[in-house]
Structure 1
């Protein structure tokens, strides 16, 4: 049986960008063979996100949009629960995979790498963001994050217990930490492009400082609730 991919995209108020991403996924796929599903999981958008994707899916049968409780971990688990492919590919709504992304993912799985991501660059010329993106080519755990996207076999995802829904933030890194503990992670050396919009909105140094603080707090044992409280106070 040939490997196939179910893409899971958690969204919340992404009406300005979601159709662009869906078109990008269709255009950049190497063929129509590998990507079996694109599951958009809406966490309660107040804009036209759900309506736009629903309309788009009428002419693109591989695209499905469903509703879920708010929270990226919950949304991604909800999407994964209806996925039918052997490979899950979790993607943020503002991250754009490279040309032939599907082929690269399948090649890694077939050669024995059950999980991983792409290296990443921001759509920004800020020197720090260019450096931060450059560092993602290395396998250091500190260089990982959900913006790089995440592929994982459906079997391994179930074995690890799916995303921990206690985490409102840091859910991607929690799963990545489990994968690193099992030494099952690869960085595909192709560039994914992600939006720097949150840095533009909050300020590069301010947001980076708080992301570092969250990472260090988790390192010293902070709970999912503690991390969320810090996020709400400092960033949200």
Structure 2
């Protein structure tokens, strides 16, 4: 792979992520080649901790945005200079040489895709749900798996729907399945199970499952957020 390959812009929406952001940014630097990375953009939704300081220290570009992951990721995409956008959560670690893996998929003609996922937990139920991420079906997609997409396609599909305060990743990826052949890469990102540890894995998995069902039955973004707020935020 040559240094004149398309460049990747990594976009990370952040909000009070001081606990783990530094480790993720260090990991990105250790597992990728600077020749293939245009920039790392941390889009801040109003952090009140050391998030911005940590991002700047690790040479990421920091952009301010109104709160909301969909809005933050769209803002990052507008500022990105790379031909390929790579959306990553602030508690998710991509595999070694993830940049080369993504560029290889792009070279094979895929315009969008994700990695398989593993949790940083040995909980058998979480391991099972993570195993499902290898299945190339929109029902098995989620933002924790990260997302790569050609910027041209992102703009053509109008990016993330900012009406969704949750479920924005899944809603967008389902649209992508209708526009292009979506690639599930045979490598894993490692994502944090912190929400499951904080709220209880059974509770979180049940309510996320209900959100999937509600969306399948036609629930809109407001109804999904009300359910999420009632059962997982309060």
Does residue 225 in structure 1 map to residue 195 in structure 2?
Answer: no
Q: Corresponding residue for 2:11?
A: 8
Q: Matched residues in 2 for 1:34 and 1:189: separation?
A: 20
The structure 1 residue matched to 2:200, chosen from 199, 203, 212, is 203
1:82 aligns to 2:85 (yes or no): no
Please give the TM-score of this superposition, normalised by the length of structure 2.
Answer: 0.96
1:20 corresponds to 2:43: no
Note the C-alpha offset of 1:183. Answer: 4.1
Count of aligned residue pairs for this structure pair: 230
For 2:174 and 2:227, the matched residues in 1 are separated by: 21
Match of 1:213 among 207, 210, 227: 210
Aligned to 1:60: none
Which of 36, 39, 45 aligns to 1:37? It is 39
- Alpha-carbon offset, residue 54 of structure 1: 2.1
Secondary structure of 1:163's match? coil
Moved over 6 A (4+): none
Alignment partner, residue 188 of structure 1:
185
Q: 2:120 touches 2:190 (CA, 8 Å); kept in 1?
A: yes
Residue aligning to 1:115: 112
Superposed displacement of residue 36, structure 1:
1.1
Q: Is the 8 A contact 2:111 2:180 kept in 1?
A: no
Mind listing any 5+ residue stretches in structure 2 that lack a counterpart? none
- 1:52 Cα deviation after fit: 1.9
Structure 1 portions without partners, runs of 5+: 58-62
SS of equivalent to 1:235? helix
